[in-house]
Amino acid sequence: MRHGMRAAVSLAAILIHAGHAHAQSIYVFGGTAQTWREPGWQQRSIEDPGPDPKPTPSLLAGAGWWVTPRVGIDGSIEFQRRQTLSWHYGYMANKDMSSTDSDTPILGHLRLAALRAKHVSVEALVGGGVTWHGTKTFVLRECSPIFSTTCTTHDPPAEADTYGTWDWAVSTGVDVPIRLADHVQLSPTARVLYARRYEYLTATDFRGPRSGPGLMPSIGVTLRWTR
């Protein structure tokens, strides 16, 4: 996560510096969204199709500049709320586990103003980048591996593992900025992100839950300030 924050700060600094260098309008934005995301899952049978996407809130921040009045380039970082999965680990052990995971996409977009009016605009976005897929796993209960007569419940849960991978992602979407003041716009947003995540959720690989690639559609709203 610290690497993601450093990358986001560096990207924002580059964008702002480039905006000054080209003497064009720079902008910064922040907001919130509801993202539909497939949580991790433990396969029960060959026919098990996996879970349906579940909504999770996220926070978004970014900056960019208009290279021309209709073409812009920006970068953003999104912090998603963690999702929780309870599962059982039975390889040479007998443990009830819980894992929380989330994505932190760090993306760059080409922004095209398809329609500009006095009070409202329509902008299309296309781009990509990387996502940090981070997981924390805890032991809830541990029993003897052969005869489950002795069990110990951990209260609070015992931390077992912290695991994460950098994975590539592509993104597209539409913004509809509504002018509130000379330099301020409120923008409803719609996004579709595809993340090529690693197949497994934890470091136990196929002995633990699955994760894998997936689409993450979202709707939200941002507040934008333009210089």
HEC letters along the chain: CHHHHHHHHHHHHHHHHHHHHHCCCEEEEEEEEEEEECCCECCCCCCCCCCCCEEEEEEEEEEEEECCCCEEEEEEEEEECCEEEEEEECCCCCEEEEEEEEEEEEEEEEEEEEEECCCEEEEEEEEEEEEEEEEEEEEEEEECCCCCCCEEEEEEEEEEEEEEEEEEEEEEEEECCEECCCCEEEEEEEEEEEECCCCECCCCHHHCCECCCEEEEEEEEEEEEEC
The confidence band for 212, taking pLDDT boundaries of 50, 70 and 90, is: confident
Show the domains of the chain with their CATH numbers: 2-84+102-133+166-226 (2.40.160.20)
Averaged confidence pLDDT in the chain: 89
Distance CA 210, CA 198 (A): 9
Share of the chain above pLDDT 70, in %: 89
pLDDT at 13: 52
Compute the distance between CA of residue 191 and CA of residue 221 in angstroms, rounded to an integer.
11
Q: Are 26 and 65 in contact (CB under 8 A)?
A: yes
pTM of the model: 0.83
Give tens-digit pLDDT for 104-122. 999 999 999 999 888 999 9
What's the mean pLDDT in 71-82?
Answer: 96
Q: Confidence band (pLDDT; 50, 70, 90) for 5?
A: low
- 23 vs 7: CA distance, rounded Å: 24
Stretch 85-92: mean pLDDT: 91
